[in-house]
Amino acid sequence: MSVDVYLTFNGNCREAVEFYAEAFEEEKPKIMTFGDSPSDPNYPMPEEAKHLVMHTRLNINGSNVMFSDAFPGMEVNEGNNITLSLISKDEDKIKSYFNSLKEGGTVGMELQETFWSKCYGQVTDKFGIHWQVSLDSGEEAY
């Protein structure tokens, strides 16, 4: 298990990840946009979000670096645009880590099943560090 970095951008994620892929001599990454996600009639996708990057990643010298654009309406500033991402195949560990990190912190998204993970959550710890925890289902992600 490793801790990976997650970088968030204000609409220029595609440009950034393509730059990094070239700079680090990596293959052009697969990119999932917000428009590629399953639609939910209760939460219609804003037109301006559809082309934005929801998720992509590069493996730079053995380290996973993940990227996305902020969803419209979410503010990104220097300091909150970097998230540590903890991915494990052990659901009990994911729950334990999440519960420990949220103590004195702020939960952004409670642990829940999503279309990409059976157990995913977001929390900012008491020191202001942003974390994503996710159960690895073993499927190849973007």
For the entire predicted model, the pTM comes to 0.69
Torsions phi, psi of 98, nearest 5?
Answer: -60, -50
Per-residue pLDDT of the chain (142 residues; tens, 9 = 90+): 678 889 898 999 999 999 889 988 889 999 999 999 998 889 899 999 999 999 999 998 788 999 999 999 888 887 777 888 888 899 998 998 899 889 899 999 999 999 989 999 999 888 677 889 999 877 655 4
- Domains along the sequence of the chain with CATH: 5-69 (3.10.180.10), 84-135 (3.30.720.110)
Helix H or strand E segment including 101: helix 91-102
Report the alpha-carbon angle 76-78-83, nearest 5. Answer: 75
